[in-house]
Every structure is written in C-alpha cells, then in structure tokens.
Amino acid sequence: MKKLSTTLFVFFMGISLMFGLTASANPAIVSYGGSYSNTLTAGQGYAYILPNAKTTGTSVKITASAANALQLHYYWSYNNTTIDLGTAIVNNNNYNGGSAYYNPGTLVTVVERVPASTTLYPSVSYTISFN
C-alpha cells in the first residue's frame, strides 16, 4: 500500500510540474458522470485527471461559449508510462470526443486556450463532463 501511495504521489507531482512548465494548468481529479465548469483567459489551462478510466471507452463532452477558442490535449498514463494522445480543437460550441484504451490507466485532459483566439474572445467559459 505504501508503494502505491508513493507511486500516486510521484505521478501527481510529475503531472503538476509538467503542466506548470507549459501553462498555468491547475489539476483537478474528476469522476465519471460529473460536470465541471470553468472560465479561461489567455495563457490559462486546466487539467482534469480521471483515474481508473474505462478501457472500453471514455466519452468527453465539452460545451464552450465560443467555437475555436479552446483545445483539448489528452494524455494516457499506465504502468509509469505517459502517452501523448494529441490535441483536438473544440471547433463547435458542443464537442464530443473520447476513445477506448487497451490498458487500465489514468486519462488526463488539459483544456487550454487557442492562442490565436484570445483577441477575439478574452475569456471563454465551458462545461466539461466525462462518461
């Protein structure tokens, strides 16, 4: 149990440090069925950590106040390995994404501003949910 606690602590510290270097992404641990709201301005980001994500598929739904102003960056972490799954721009006010994964692990979704959108939309509010 102590080894698991140490591993989780190191993982979350690593994720926090990684996002601290790239953007001001505050991490939040989320669960299935929950909806989370936030507002981002230029240079801000927010990380959603979904532990024990389903390997049969995880649906990520986001509703934004402006199209083409937010991007989602996905990471999959398992067995002390983190895989960068890429970025998707929320090109509509409603976006549905997600995927199936082969190994049990943790899905990290980082919501960031699209740099070119900050002049037109100084702040963008959104609601994200995981199912």
What residue segments make up the domains of the chain, in order of their start?
A: 2-130
2-130 carries CATH number 3.30.70.260: no
Give the pLDDT confidence score for residue 8 in this predicted structure: 43
Give the pLDDT confidence score for residue 19 in this predicted structure: 43
DSSP collapsed to 3 states, 66-125? CCCCEEEEEEEEECCEEEEEEEEECCCCEEEEEECCCCCEEEEEEEEECHHHCCCCCEEE
SS3 label, residue 60: strand
Each of the 131 residues of the chain gets a pLDDT tens digit; together they read 445 444 444 444 445 444 443 445 678 999 999 999 999 999 899 999 999 888 788 889 999 999 999 999 999 998 889 999 899 999 988 888 877 777 789 999 999 999 999 889 999 999 999 99
